[in-house]
Every structure is written in structure tokens, then in C-alpha cells.
């Protein structure tokens, strides 16, 4: 078979292949999902809440009026009281040292929400906290002293223990109105040791 038997056209040393109509392969339909900012924020909030539930960090949602809207379940492990005991109460009622710490942070965030606020404060350590130190048995060296102490002085309640906490708060905006909604803070023990 000669080169001309292939039905190719030859002109001036150039082989011209027959023209074949080539159809592009059908493209699979691509569905592009677009995420909105509010979806990203919602998922980020859920991730943050899940992480807080599994750690000794607490997430606190605080209304602009200073009333606790929500605390993560880890509040119990850290502070030692249940979320139901604090939700709906002014945060200033729970703070032992700097009563206006949260009010000051809220005011600062309302002036400039581009920066988060660090809040340091102390609360009473509740009985359910995992940070409560184990009681150390007191054993006096002199047995006579032990009997004297137990007969002469009535046992008094242990002093209230406090827990030093630190939080970092940001302003959260309403999805619909885009107005300031509340403050969200991640809170943890400053030293993991009650003071």
C-alpha cells in the first residue's frame, strides 16, 4: 500500500489528515456550593462550642446588659456550678473582685469591636469543679493535741475558695439586623490552681 492509498491528501510534501468532527467529552455537571459568611460563622461557633465542651475552657455568651445568656457545659468542670445556676443572672453578681470588668469590656467593644478584650476576674469555686484541690488529711504529731483540738473548737466551714479566670471577648452581631447582639468570651483558669 502506497502512501497515497491512505486517502490522505498530499500537497507539496505536507500530509493533510482527513478532518474528523471531534465532539468534546460531556462534562459532568459541577455543582458549586457557595458558603455565606453567616454559614461560616455558624459552623465556627459550633466548632468552638464543641471544643469548649471537651476542654477546661468555657464559652460565655453575655448580653450587652451584662446578663449571662449561655455558658458551655464545661462551666461545671471549671467553675463548679451548673449552667442553670448562672444563666439569666448578671455576671457582676458572680464576679468577686472586679465587679465592672465585664461592663467595661462591653463598653470598650461597643466603641471599637475590631479588637478583642481581655477580662481578668475571680469567682467562687463551686463544689463540682475539677480544679478543686484534694483535701489533705491533717495529722498532728501529738495525739493529745488532736484530742484537745477536736473537743475545744467546733469545726467551722472551710473558707470560700476563689478561682482566678481570664477571658477573651469579642462582639457578636445579629445575622439579620447586623447590629450588636452580645459578647462571646472564651474563659479559662489563669493558673488552673484555685487561689
Query: Average pLDDT for consecutive 10-residue bins of the chain (195 residues)?
Result: 50 52 57 64 69 77 98 95 97 96 97 96 95 66 53 55 95 95 95 50
CA dist 24 and 8 (Å) reads: 24
In a domain, 150, yes or no: no
| pLDDT for the residue numbered 193 | 41
In a domain, 190, yes or no: yes
In a domain, 30, yes or no: no
First-to-last alpha carbon distance for the chain, in angstroms, is 100
The partner residues of 162 in beta bridges, in order of sequence, read 124
What is the CATH classification number for the domain harbouring 52? 3.30.450.20
* Ordered alpha helix ranges (H), 79-168: 83-86, 101-111, 143-152
In a domain, 143, yes or no: no
In a domain, 144, yes or no: no
Q: What is the pTM of this model?
A: 0.62
State the total domains in the chain.
Answer: 1
| pLDDT for the residue numbered 118 | 97
| pLDDT for the residue numbered 42 | 72
| pLDDT for the residue numbered 76 | 95
| pLDDT for the residue numbered 157 | 47
Q: What domain range includes position 178?
A: 39-132+159-195
In a domain, 148, yes or no: no
The partner residues of 95 in beta bridges, in order of sequence, read 123
In a domain, 11, yes or no: no
CA dist 176 and 194 (Å) reads: 41
Amino acid at each position: 500500500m502506497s502512501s497515497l492509498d491512505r486517502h490522505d491528501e498530499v500537497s507539496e510534501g505536507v500530509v493533510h489528515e482527513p478532518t474528523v468532527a471531534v465532539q468534546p467529552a460531556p462534562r459532568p455537571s459541577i455543582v458549586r456550593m457557595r458558603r455565606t459568611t453567616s454559614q461560616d460563622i455558624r459552623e465556627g461557633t459550633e466548632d468552638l462550642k464543641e471544643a469548649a465542651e471537651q476542654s477546661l475552657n468555657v464559652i460565655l455568651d453575655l448580653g450587652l446588659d451584662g446578663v449571662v445568656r449561655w455558658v458551655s457545659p464545661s462551666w461545671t468542670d471549671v467553675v463548679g456550678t451548673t449552667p442553670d445556676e448562672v444563666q439569666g443572672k448578671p455576671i457582676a453578681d458572680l464576679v468577686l473582685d472586679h465587679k465592672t470588668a465585664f461592663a467595661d469590656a462591653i463598653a470598650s467593644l461597643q466603641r471599637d469591636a475590631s479588637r478583642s478584650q481581655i477580662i481578668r476576674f475571680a469567682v467562687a469555686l463551686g463544689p463540682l469543679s475539677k480544679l478543686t484541690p484534694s483535701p489533705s488529711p491533717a495529722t498532728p504529731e501529738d495525739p493529745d493535741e488532736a484530742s484537745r483540738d477536736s473537743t475545744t473548737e467546733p469545726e467551722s466551714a472551710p473558707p470560700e475558695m476563689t478561682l482566678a479566670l481570664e477571658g477573651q471577648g469579642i462582639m457578636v452581631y445579629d445575622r439579620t439586623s447586623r447590629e450588636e447582639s452580645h459578647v462571646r468570651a472564651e474563659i479559662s483558669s489563669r493558673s488552673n490552681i484555685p487561689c
